[in-house]
Amino acid sequence: MTESVVLHFSQKPSAAKYMALAFVGKRGRKDEIHAPVVNAVWSDFCPASVQPSSVRYAHPINLQASSVRLSMSILTHPKFPVPIWRILQNRNRIIQRWALSSAAKVTMEASLKDTRVLTKGVEFDIHVTMMSGAEIVFESINTFYAKGTFKGGQPEPVIAQPEPPLSKHAGWTISRSGVWSFARLTGDYNGIHWSNSYAKIFGFRSAFAHPHRALMSIIEHLPNVSIHSPLQLNAWFKGPVYYSRPLTLSHRKEGDTLDFALRVEGDERPAILGSLSELRS
């Protein structure tokens, strides 16, 4: 019988508590995936807690970043089959059904949904919803990847990623200076985002921006984007976006869809690839 776990939070989930759980040993064989059904619920979440109160509507990336705390509470749970240290986020789908007032209070819920065993690893999908009354105003599917050889789970097709645009439209850098404010927003204090020496242990050149921080920066540089309209955003996190390294943004409009690719100087492969489109009822 599949185990079911429900985690309830009446206020911001404590990063200290769930990161302490990251050191709890995992039971069972390391190559078998038996993921429990885990739901994490944050009642009375207010967007004003994740952005300036003077801003009328919540930014969709701020909402997405704030949901990381619920995802982390699932990924670090003792019954979760893979240690958090082996897991990286590699894909997001964000659906904003309408703009959410900064003063609103919603119920945020995250649940472990699909598990896919791949040739060289395993993927876990965490589905996030934000409910105003009985209506979903915001939702996302966050996909996490762990490298290795595993058994169990069911392979499933995933959404096809767009061809990377090639024309260059904008360039800038992401400063290390905002690392701690973004860590407080997400509750993700992973050393790969603030320590060069720690990041190098895992094979990276240096510390690099949290993927949601990099995605926020991309949205700021895309043309004619109405972030408070109903929208769908798909993003693939392909590689690290290093601090203070020159970045190049490419984009291509096809119909109602704006495809984009962010590249780090010295690498023609996109570090982040995505598409943004209007959400039609």
**70 and 104 co-located in one domain:** yes
40 vs 24: CA distance, rounded Å:
19
* Residue after which a domain boundary falls, among 119, 137, 158: 158
93 vs 90: CA distance, rounded Å: 11
The answer to whether residues 6 and 138 belong to one domain is yes
pTM to 2 decimal places: 0.89
Please, what sign has the CA dihedral across residues 110, 191, 93, 229?
A: positive
Cβ-contact 225, 258 below 8 angstroms: yes
List the CATH number of the domain containing 259. Answer: 3.10.129.10
Query: Which of 141, 158, 175 is at the close of a domain?
Result: 158
Exposure string of 121-155, with b = 16+ CB inside 10 Å and e = fewer, is bbbbbbbbbbbbeeeebbbbbbbbbbeeebeebee
Token readout for 2 is 């599949």
143 Cα distance to chain centroid: 8
CA distances from residue 186 to 28, 70, 101, 120 in whole angstroms, order as listed:
30, 9, 20, 28
Which tens digit of pLDDT belongs to each residue from 65-114?
999 999 999 999 888 888 888 888 999 999 999 999 988 999 999 998 88
DSSP-assigned letters across all residues of 56-97: SB--HHHHHHHTHHHHHHHHTSTTSSS-GGGEEEEEEEEEES
Q: Are residues 147 and 177 in the same domain?
A: no
| Domain shared by 34 and 112, yes or no | yes
Query: What values do phi and psi take at 269, rounded to 5?
Result: -80, 140
Q: 154 and 65 in one domain?
A: yes
Which candidate, 11, 106, 121, places its Cα nearest to that of 63? 106
Q: Are residues 76 and 208 in the same domain?
A: no
Q: Which is it for strands 272-278 and 135-147: parallel, antiparallel or unpaired?
A: unpaired
Position with higher pLDDT, 188 vs 281 = 188
Q: Are residues 46 and 94 in the same domain?
A: yes
- Do 79 and 210 share a domain, yes or no? no
pLDDT digits (tens, 9 = 90+) for 214-264: 999 999 999 989 899 999 999 999 999 999 999 999 999 988 899 999 999
User: Residue 96 belongs to what domain range?
Assistant: 1-158
What would the pLDDT profile of 119-147 be if each residue is shown by its tens digit?
888 899 999 999 998 899 999 999 999 88
Q: Within this chain, do residues 185 and 230 fall inside the same structural domain, yes or no?
A: yes
- List CB contacts of 50: < 8 A, sequence separation 6 or more: 58, 62, 63, 65, 66, 185
Q: Quickly count: other Cβ atoms within 10 Å of residue 184's Cβ.
A: 13
- Asked whether residue 39 falls in the same domain as residue 147, the answer is yes
CB-side neighbour CA atoms (13 Å) of 196 = 6
3-class DSSP state of 23: coil
Sequence-distant (6+) residues with CB within 8 A of 12 are 42, 49, 69, 187
pLDDT at 29: 47
Residues 18 and 72 in one domain: yes
Same domain flag for 206 and 192: yes
Average pLDDT over the chain, rounded to an integer: 88
- Overall number of domains in the chain: 2
Of the three residues 112, 134, 158, the one that is the final residue of a domain is: 158
CB atoms near residue 24 (< 10 Å): 13
> Which one, of 190, 11, 218, 175, lies nearest residue 86 by Cα?
190
- Pick 35 or 266 by higher pLDDT: 266
